[in-house]
Structure 1
Amino acid sequence: MNIKFIKLQQFLSCICLALFIHIAHADEATPLASDPALEQRLVSISEEMRCLVCQNESLSGSRSELAQDLRREIRDLIKQGKTDAEIRTFMVDRYGDFILYRPPVKPTTWLLWIGPFVLMFAGIVALLMYLRRRNTQVATTSLSDDENKRIDALLRDDK
């Protein structure tokens, strides 16, 4: 009994040590701007942009170094007095429409807007063709009267 208690104690101490190591290596919080209005504007602009490293996270939610640099750049542009539209234009000119979560509909982004629907339609057509071909390949057999009677008897016995 004593050995089990010691092993449990060792296991728990290993878990605690792992948690403390994880906490010790945590990144420091990024200091907010001295102006809360500036910081709020930064968040609203960066929420509409995609992190170029993570690609599935917004710029404001990403912890990558590039996202931190881009947020710093947006903060500098805000301090320079640029409007939200000017900041978005600057970012699109520099990184392309891909940085926006909602890129504008124009010939260069038609594939982004229409592509998923084209793929879904092609998948449905392919599935229907496969099912139709499979149904024609399966041989249909009909049961004889004796086999039908046997099945009916089996079904009545189960009840």
Structure 2
Amino acid sequence: MALSISSRAEPATPSPAGSELLDSTPAPGERALAARLLAPCCWDQTLDVHESEVARDLRREIRARLRRGEGADVIERDLVARYGDRLRAAPSSGVLGKVALGLMLGIAVAFLGVFALLRSWRRSDAQPAPSSVAVPAAARDEYDELLDDELRERDA
């Protein structure tokens, strides 16, 4: 009993959509975009490092869309519309930038204050200390004379 196996020749080249998904070379801007978005399965890690099926699917989608010529900001807005603003690893409302700017300005003001304080201390160290020499006679007044007279009487 002979079995007849019919073999049908399949094309050796994968389809264009399949080659796009099989090619693991990142598209320009893909890593940066994946680093800005959280994995929606756990909201714990960004897409560039998380290993889940959802994260892999989103990375493939991002790669394919970038290769088709879509902009990274368009893709990000679309994904945020689907999954919510929580998908962003950092808030995009500008609050974070304002907080960072405030912190930098505060640090700069504190640094300048410390610098001014140190500079004033150096100046006071550089000035000669007041000497303990007697006051010149021209600067003496009548109260100095009365005090000297009282001290002479006491010592006598």
The TM-score range, normalised by the shorter chain, is 0.3 to 0.5
Task: Indicate the structure with greater helix content.
Answer: 1
Larger Rg: 2
